């Protein structure tokens, strides 16, 4: 007779197949689908999501989870089987709490909100988007109620993207960062002449940017036998299983929103997905541990590797060879400095490593205030601009470059920005642990040797997939809880030297 565990695995495998298939539909929609395909695609995606939800929340899964828990009671908590039961139970208990009508309402709200947001941003008019933002906030509140929480609604939503992470933890991180960044940004501003980044604005052949980027991510360790790169308007990474991971990038004439860094960022996500243990295949653990942990990998490769001096010492000769006329008069150090220039700016996705987290704090604080009733939807633009002035010293922008810039508020939930800052902070903390084990990491990078770094990440982090919660994983990987200390050391050291601060 088949054990409950085996039956559970079979059902979860099917749920996984359905979700991965929905991911293929999404990838195709963003990369190659002709415009006519949109209507049919929406109905296909909706059906697959519904089938996956129905299959996963079936009462039979509850029974199987219970029986499988008994069958695996003697196994250590970190074993694959015990983890499968634990992780699936957590996801099951959460997913059954959302009434199916609310799930449908949320899906509908999202697709309805996006064209309204696009129009509002086009016309730079918050009033157009305001009714949709009320719906977003209302749905987020209702979802939080359905999931349940003690005193703070965002806590219930955060549990979905960062299981086990508390809002107190997040706010402690924010306040630690605020203390460092706000004065650091001012200090850098006084020395802004130290870095000349005008080389980024030259004209780089687009096709060559794309092929060069693909070459770089391959050399970092993104496996093209088990993945590929395509072009999209907004770069992303998606996985159809560890052996088929798709990243996308975008390209412009200049390299300010660089194709190269987009590719490295997404390849960071991609190498994480490619590194998930084959033993976790077709289970809910066959993915990254959380949005924040995922972002730690993309940021580690993009910033701590890709924007490092040894990286440019290694890659500059080939980069110069790819663009010989454009780069005839510059050297590795010049590019290294240019890609690390710090400048408060309006747009989150274009912002540098130092100011980026301020953009996240600003948004998350507004979301908390909305959910806890201290802020009304109509007052969002004003609150946005106040914080912008306070954190970044910038005057109020048109709404298109302010509170209408991100697509995230068309999603029928809130709290989605937190992972970006968790990722930034965690990337530095992980990198300190890596350096403990690989003291000559900089020499390796300068020699174009990335396999020890990737190997370290694989063994310590990637292989576990979503077996552990973010906090458990941080403890396992770094030996201490998540704090801002490593990140603060990293930015103070790097930017202090770059800008000649004392």
Residue with smaller CB distance to its own copies, 248 or 405: 248
DSSP string for 348-396: GGG--TTTHHHHHHHHHHHHHHHHTTSS-GGGHHHHHHHHHHHHH--PP
Contacts of its own copies in 447-476 (CB under 8 A):
none
Residues in binding contact with its own copies, number by CB under 8 A: 36
Comparing CB distances to its own copies, the nearer of 39 and 328 is 39
- Which of 1, 35, 74, 324: binder of its own copies (CB under 8 A)? 35
Smaller CB separation from its own copies, 40 or 115: 40
* Nearest distance from C-beta of residue 478 to its own copies, angstroms: 31
Q: What is the 8-class DSSP label of residue 398?
A: P
Q: Quick check: is 112 catalytic?
A: no
Q: What share of the chain is helix, strand, coil (3-state, %, to 5)?
A: 70, 5, 30
Burial class (CB in 10 A: 0-12, 13-18, 19+), 391: buried
Judged by CB under 8 A, which stretch of 39-47, 329-337, 359-367, 373-381 contacts its own copies? Answer: 39-47
Tokens of 118: 């696009």
Beta strands in 90-213 (DSSP E): none
Cβ distance to its own copies smaller for residue 273 or 352? 273
- Does residue number 150 form part of the binding site for its own copies (CB under 8 A)? no
- The residue among 36 and 324 lying less far from its own copies, judged by its C-beta, is 36
* C-beta of 419 vs 465, nearer to its own copies: 465
- 3-class DSSP assignment, residue 237: strand
Q: Does 95 bind its own copies (CB under 8 A)?
A: no
Which two three-digit tokens encode residue 16?
């996984």
Minimum CB–partner distance for residue 45 and its own copies (Å): 9
Q: Based on CB atoms, which residue is closest to its own copies, 227 or 412?
A: 227
Looking at residue 463, the DSSP 8-state letter turns out to be G
Q: Are 357 and 187 in contact (CB under 8 A)?
A: no
Supply the DSSP symbol for 246: E
Which candidate in 266, 353, 367, 446 is catalytic? 266
Tokens 């989870």, residue located: 65
Residue 76 touches its own copies, criterion: CB under 8 A: no
Residues 237-256 that bind its own copies (CB under 8 A): 240-241, 243-244
Number of Cα atoms under 13 Å in the Cβ half of residue 65: 19
Spatial distance between the Cα atoms of 61 and 95, rounded to a whole number of angstroms:
12
Closest CA to 293 of 145, 187, 141, 164: 164
Binding to its own copies, residues 200-229 (CB under 8 A) = 223-228
Least Å distance between CB 23 and its own copies?
A: 10
9 is an interface residue for its own copies by CB under 8 A = no
Residue 207: CB minimum distance to its own copies, A: 13
Interface with its own copies, residue 36, by CB under 8 A: yes
For residue 85, give both structure tokens: 């039961």
Closest distance to its own copies from the beta carbon of 28 (Å): 6
Among 5, 8, 18, 167, binds its own copies (CB under 8 A): 18
Rounded Cα gap, residues 234 and 230, in angstroms: 11
Q: Does 198 bind its own copies (CB under 8 A)?
A: no
The whole-angstrom distance between residue 486's C-alpha and the CA centroid of its chain comes to 19
**The one segment of 235-243, 265-273, 421-429, 451-459 that binds its own copies by CB under 8 A:** 235-243
Instruction: State how far the alpha carbon of 372 is from the alpha carbons of 125, 126, 172, 325, 369, in Å.
Output: 25, 21, 18, 56, 5
Q: Can you tell me which of 5, 48, 91, 428 binds its own copies, judged by CB under 8 A?
A: 48
User: Which residues would be at the binding site for its own copies (CB under 8 A)?
Assistant: 13-14, 17-18, 20-21, 24-25, 28, 32-37, 39-41, 43-44, 47-48, 51, 223-228, 230, 240-241, 243-244, 281-282
Residues labelled catalytic: 266
């Amino acid at each position: 007779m088949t054990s409950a565990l085996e039956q559970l695995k079979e059902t979860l495998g099917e749920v996984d197949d359905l979700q991965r298939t929905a991911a293929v539909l999404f990838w195709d929609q963003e990369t190659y689908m002709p415009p006519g395909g949109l209507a049919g695609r929406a109905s296909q995606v909706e059906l697959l999501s519904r089938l996956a939800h129905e299959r996963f929340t079936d009462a039979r899964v509850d029974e199987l989870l219970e029986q499988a828990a008994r069958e695996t009671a003697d196994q250590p908590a970190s074993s694959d089987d015990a983890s499968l039961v634990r992780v699936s139970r957590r996801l099951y208990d959460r997913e059954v709490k959302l009434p199916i009508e609310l799930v449908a309402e949320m899906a509908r709200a999202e697709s309805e909100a996006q064209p309204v947001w696009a129009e509002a941003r086009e016309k730079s008019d918050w009033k157009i988007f305001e009714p949709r933002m009320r719906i977003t906030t209302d749905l987020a509140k209702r979802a939080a109620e359905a999931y349940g929480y003690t005193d703070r609604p965002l806590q219930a939503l955060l549990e979905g993207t960062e299981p086990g992470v508390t809002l107190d933890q997040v706010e402690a991180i924010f306040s630690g960062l605020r203390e460092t960044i706000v004065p650091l940004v001012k200090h850098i501003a006084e020395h802004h002449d130290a870095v000349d980044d005008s080389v980024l604005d030259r004209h780089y052949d687009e096709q060559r940017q794309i092929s060069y980027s693909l070459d770089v991510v391959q050399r970092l360790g993104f496996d093209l036998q088990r993945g590929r790169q395509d072009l999209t308007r907004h770069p992303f990474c998606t996985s159809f299983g560890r052996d088929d991971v798709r990243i996308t990038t975008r390209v412009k004439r200049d390299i300010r929103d660089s194709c190269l860094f987009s590719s490295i960022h997404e390849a960071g996500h991609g190498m994480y997905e490619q590194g998930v243990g084959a033993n976790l295949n077709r289970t809910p653990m066959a993915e990254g541990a959380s949005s924040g942990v995922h972002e730690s990998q993309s940021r580690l490769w993009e910033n701590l590797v890709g924007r490092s001096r040894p990286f440019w010492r290694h890659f500059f000769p080939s980069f110069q060879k790819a663009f010989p006329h454009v780069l005839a008069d510059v050297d590795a150090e010049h590019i290294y400095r240019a890609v690390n220039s710090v400048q408060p700016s309006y747009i989150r996705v274009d912002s540098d490593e130092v100011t980026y987290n301020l953009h996240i704090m600003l948004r998350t604080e507004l979301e908390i205030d909305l959910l806890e009733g201290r802020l009304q939807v109509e007052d969002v633009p004003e609150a946005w601009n106040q914080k912008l002035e306070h954190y970044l010293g910038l005057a109020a922008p048109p709404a298109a470059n302010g509170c209408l810039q991100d697509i995230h508020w068309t999603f029928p939930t809130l709290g989605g920005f937190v992972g970006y800052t968790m990722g930034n902070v965690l990337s530095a903390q992980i990198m300190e642990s890596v350096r403990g084990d690989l003291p000559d990491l900089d020499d390796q990078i300068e020699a174009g040797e990335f396999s020890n770094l990737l190997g370290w990440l694989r063994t310590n982090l990637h292989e576990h997939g979503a077996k552990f919660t973010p906090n458990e994983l941080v403890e396992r990987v770094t030996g201490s809880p998540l704090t801002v200390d490593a990140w603060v050391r990293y930015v103070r050291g790097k930017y202090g030297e770059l800008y000649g601060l004392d």
